[in-house]
Structure formats: C-alpha cells, structure tokens
Amino acid sequence: MTRISTSFGGCAFAGLGLVLAIPAASYAQAEATPTYSKDVAPIFREKCENCHRPGYIAPMSLQTYAESRPWARSIKNRVETRQMPPWHLDPTVGIQEFDNDRSLTREEIDTIVRWVDGGAQQGNPADMPPAAVFADDDVWNFADRFGGPPDLIVKSTPYTMPALSQDHWWKPLVPTGLTEDRWVRAIEIRPSTVQGRKITHHALARLVQEEDEADKENLLQGAGLLMEWAVGKQGEIMRENSGKLVKAGSQIHWDIHYSSAGEEITDQAELGLYFYPKDEPPKHRQVLSIWMGIEGGPRNLLIPPNTVLSTESNIVLRENGRIENFQPHMHLRGDGMQMTAITPNGRTQVLSRVSDFNFNWHNNYVYADHAAPLLPKGTVIEVKAWWDNTSTNRANPDPNQWVGWGDRTVDEMAHAWVNVTYMDDEDFEAAQAEREEVLAELEDGDGE
C-alpha cells in the first residue's frame, strides 16, 4: 500500500466534507508499484515454481498470491542476497552467458523488492499469467524435444534407506544391455519416485567399457562418467555434432549418495539415454572429466580448525577442446571455486568463478553456444578451490575440527565436473572461424 502524507495546507473544505488534494506524482507512484498478479507472478512462473509448488523440494509454494504473501519479506531477503534462485556464479568475472541461466536479472530483483516494499499487494487477479504447466513426474524432461522417452533406460538395483541413519553410498554394477555401439545425444538421471528425491543427494553413472588405443593415446582417460545428477540438475544435451560413445557390452557403475529423511524409503536411480540415429553419428566425442582442485590429489587436503584455506591444481589439455560447462563439487565447508585457462601464447582468462558455493545446490553452469571456450592443446587449466572452516560459515557443523578428503558430508572435496568435446587441428580451426563469424553477427545485431 502506498502511503500519502498531507498537511492542512493540502486540504480544502467543501461543506461538511474534507477533500484531500493528492499530487499527481503520488498517483504515478502508486501506479508504478509492482503487484503480484501483473509483475511478480510471471517471475515466479519462470524462475521459481519448478521447485516452489506443492509436493516438491522447496518448503513452500509460490503459485498463488495467498501462498506467496506470508513469505514476502523472506523472499525479498533471498533475492536481494542472490540466495534464490540458486545460481552461485560470480557475476563480476568470467563468462556470463549460459544455456541454463536461472538467475534473476537486476530488473527482476528490483521488481520483487519494490513489490515487497510497496506492501506486497495482489493487484488485479485478471492480470495473472497462465498457470505453469509441468511434466508429470513419470515423464522425462527431454521427451518432448526428442519425440518420446529415452531410447535406453538403465536402472540401479533398488536400495532401502532407513528412516534414521548416517549417509549411505550404493555402488551396484549394472549392464547396459547394448549389443552394438551407440552415440548419445542427451542424458537424464533421476530418482525413480518423488519420495526418492528426499533421500538421493547425488548419483554418478560411470561408464565401464573397453576403449580404443587412439582414445588412450589422446589421454581421454577412457569413457569416464556419463553424468552426475544432483539437486537442481535436469540433464545434459550434447551440442550439435558431438556426443558420448557407449559401446556394446558396456556397464554402468552407479555411485549413489543417500541421506536419511525421517522415514524408510526404497528407491533406485534411472539413467535415460537418447541416441543419435545409427546412420547419423556425431563427428566429435565428448567426455565428462573430473578436474581436481588439489595439487597432488585428495590425500593432500587437510583443513585446520578455524581456518580459511585455498588450494589449486593444474590440468594440461593434450588435445584441442571445447569446454562445455563448469560444475564445482565441494561439501559443507566449501566456499568457492574458480576455473582459469592459460593458453600456450600466455593469455590468461578466468572462465568461471563460484564465490558463494552452497552444498544444497550442485549447479551445472552450461556455457551458451557462442561462449563455450575453445582452447588449443597445451592449454593449462587451473582449478582453484577455497574453504571456510570458521564459525562465520553458517553451514559449518564444527569449526574446531580438522577436515580432510572424504565421501561423508562432514568431510571435504574439491573438483569440477567438466564436459570437454575434443577436436583435431582441422576441426578446431573450423570451429574457431565459425565462432568469429557468430560473434561478429552478434556484435552487428547489438549495434542496430
């Protein structure tokens, strides 16, 4: 509600009635104050309701005014501090163009803040946008895009998590059942039920198969991971003319992290693979790499009590590659991670930095097509990580503990999941030339 302050000098008497002369500017201010129906609901539809709806991971629904109004002040705080929606990439450094950016723009944040400060009014219900339409839980995210469910679904063996227990890790080995090699163009992993989402913190699907000598020579290190799923991650779609190769006789080695949720729940993870047509294989192979942020490996991590610690490690690209994404992985004391490229000509470029890591949200930052870094072989990738093991870290369970590497939530880690599409010299030069053309077109468009 807009409050209008007047004095007796702004009043006129007409008979026994008192008429307030309200300045025209005040009417304009009232008109400019955002309302839920017209201004805020569209933002919630696009950026919030995927989680903030009945029965899903968020603690409250934001689908109606009645549901949203009691949380207005809390919403303002969360969006002003950029805690919500969960997108922890530093906006001041590195690449800022992503295919899956769910962060709020400065204008959207301003709209929500002014709505709350203006009294969090509903406005005209007729201004409400159409209700959001979400896929059923038994429908795969990419089903519409690829004309149906995945071509192959591989399930982990079922696991029962007790109501009260320490964290469990379930690592079954399951055959894919493939009798011929196939190229993958999209991947999804999910718990098989909504209940399963309560206990599944993350799930890794490692591909186990024999590799050709050529791949070993290129130091692709085998097939590696197909995908890592965690809260906030929907799936992966390969860029045009690139894919992951799954061979005949391959197996999936699951690595699933379960946490108790106060009730006994049995679930299993599902891996959905969408294939390229057999007669249209992609030209480039993509591999999901784990790039460590600790020199010398996990055993070298030891964080003293009440200390802020940083480490770093370097990886050399032995082949030309396009970096597709950046996904930091740390635990409760994790504070941030940065990925930097140092090319053979000495140029240094910060690719991405997460300055406010949050263990509850394992975001995968997927670069936009025209922004995904093209890096020549010989490029050094520096991964730097830092932790806050002090009482100022509100997520820290005990700042007086020494902390080392480990799978438990109270232990620590520091690595980035990074998809790399490898190219030979000819294809790399062609990709660079195409990138220059695209960027030139974008610049021309900005100038119009």
Nearest to 316 by CA among 211, 221, 213, 412: 221
What's 306's domain CATH number? 2.60.120.230
181 inside domain? yes
Task: Examine the domain organization and report whether 435 and 299 are in the same domain.
Answer: yes
Give the pLDDT confidence score for residue 280 in this predicted structure: 93
Give the pLDDT confidence score for residue 3 in this predicted structure: 36
Sign of CA dihedral 106, 109, 114, 115: positive
Share of the chain above pLDDT 90, in %: 61
Among 127, 149, 178, give the residue marking a domain's end: 127
Mean pLDDT over each residue of the chain, to the nearest integer: 86
pLDDT band at residue 50 under the 50/70/90 scheme: confident
Give the pLDDT confidence score for residue 90 in this predicted structure: 92
15 inside domain? no
Could you give the CA distance from residue 153 to residue 140 in angstroms, rounded to a whole number?
Answer: 11
Nearest to 361 by CA among 385, 330, 401: 330
pLDDT in tens, 202-249: 899 999 998 776 555 444 455 577 888 876 677 888 988 899 999 999
Q: Is the pLDDT of residue 83 over 90?
A: no
Nearest to 154 by CA among 171, 174, 139: 174
Could you give the CA distance from residue 419 to residue 186 in angstroms, rounded to a whole number?
Answer: 13
pLDDT in tens, 376-408: 999 999 999 999 999 999 999 999 999 999 988
CB 364 within 8 A of CB 329: no
User: Burial level of 268, CB count in 10 A (0-12/13-18/19+)?
Assistant: buried
Task: Examine the domain organization and report whether 448 and 319 are in the same domain.
Answer: yes
13 inside domain? no
122 inside domain? yes
CB 332 within 8 A of CB 383: no
pLDDT band at residue 197 under the 50/70/90 scheme: confident
Nearest to 170 by CA among 189, 156, 187, 180: 156
Task: Examine the domain organization and report whether 265 and 395 are in the same domain.
Answer: no
Q: Is the pLDDT of residue 300 over 50?
A: yes
Give the pLDDT confidence score for residue 232 in this predicted structure: 63
pTM, to two decimals: 0.78
If phi > 0 it is left, if psi is from -120 to 50 it is alpha, else beta; for residue 219 that is: left
Per-residue tokens: 117: 């400060």
Task: Examine the domain organization and report whether 240 and 304 are in the same domain.
Answer: no
Name the more confident of 313 and 139.
313
Angle at the Cα of 302 from the Cα atoms of 298 and 304, rounded to 5 degrees = 165
Mean pLDDT score, 128-141: 78
Task: Examine the domain organization and report whether 210 and 310 are in the same domain.
Answer: no
Mean pLDDT score, 302-330: 94
Give the pLDDT confidence score for residue 26 in this predicted structure: 42
Per-residue tokens: 181: 């090699």
Q: Is the pLDDT of residue 431 over 80?
A: yes
Could you give the CA distance from residue 116 to residue 59 in angstroms, rounded to a whole number?
Answer: 20
Domain of residue 222: give its range. 164-279
Among 70, 103, 127, give the residue marking a domain's end: 127
Task: Examine the domain organization and report whether 317 and 370 are in the same domain.
Answer: yes
Per-residue tokens: 244: 């992951």
Among 279, 307, 328, give the residue marking a domain's end: 279
Give the pLDDT confidence score for residue 86 in this predicted structure: 87
Task: Examine the domain organization and report whether 172 and 275 are in the same domain.
Answer: yes
Could you give the CA distance from residue 58 to residue 414 in angstroms, rounded to a whole number?
Answer: 27
Mean pLDDT score, 289-299: 87
Task: Examine the domain organization and report whether 119 and 268 are in the same domain.
Answer: no
Distances (CA, A) of 85 to 38, 46, 322, 440: 20, 11, 28, 32
pLDDT in tens, 154-184: 999 999 999 999 889 999 999 999 999 999 9
Could you give the CA distance from residue 298 to residue 300 in angstroms, rounded to a whole number?
Answer: 5
Give the pLDDT confidence score for residue 408 in this predicted structure: 85
Task: Examine the domain organization and report whether 297 and 419 are in the same domain.
Answer: yes
267 inside domain? yes
Share of the chain above pLDDT 70, in %: 88
24 inside domain? no
pLDDT in tens, 92-122: 999 999 988 888 999 999 999 999 999 999 9
Could you give the CA distance from residue 351 to residue 384 in angstroms, rounded to a whole number?
Answer: 12
Indicate the number of domains in the chain.
Answer: 3
Task: Examine the domain organization and report whether 271 and 306 are in the same domain.
Answer: no
Name the more confident of 447 and 359.
359
Q: Is the pLDDT of residue 367 over 90?
A: yes
Give the pLDDT confidence score for residue 135 in this predicted structure: 62
CB 241 within 8 A of CB 267: no
114 inside domain? yes
Task: Examine the domain organization and report whether 246 and 385 are in the same domain.
Answer: no
DSSP, res 127: G
398 inside domain? yes
pLDDT band at residue 19 under the 50/70/90 scheme: very low
pLDDT in tens, 432-442: 999 998 888 88
Q: What are phi and psi of 274, to 5 degrees?
A: -105, 125
Give the pLDDT confidence score for residue 286 in this predicted structure: 87
Task: Examine the domain organization and report whether 88 and 225 are in the same domain.
Answer: no
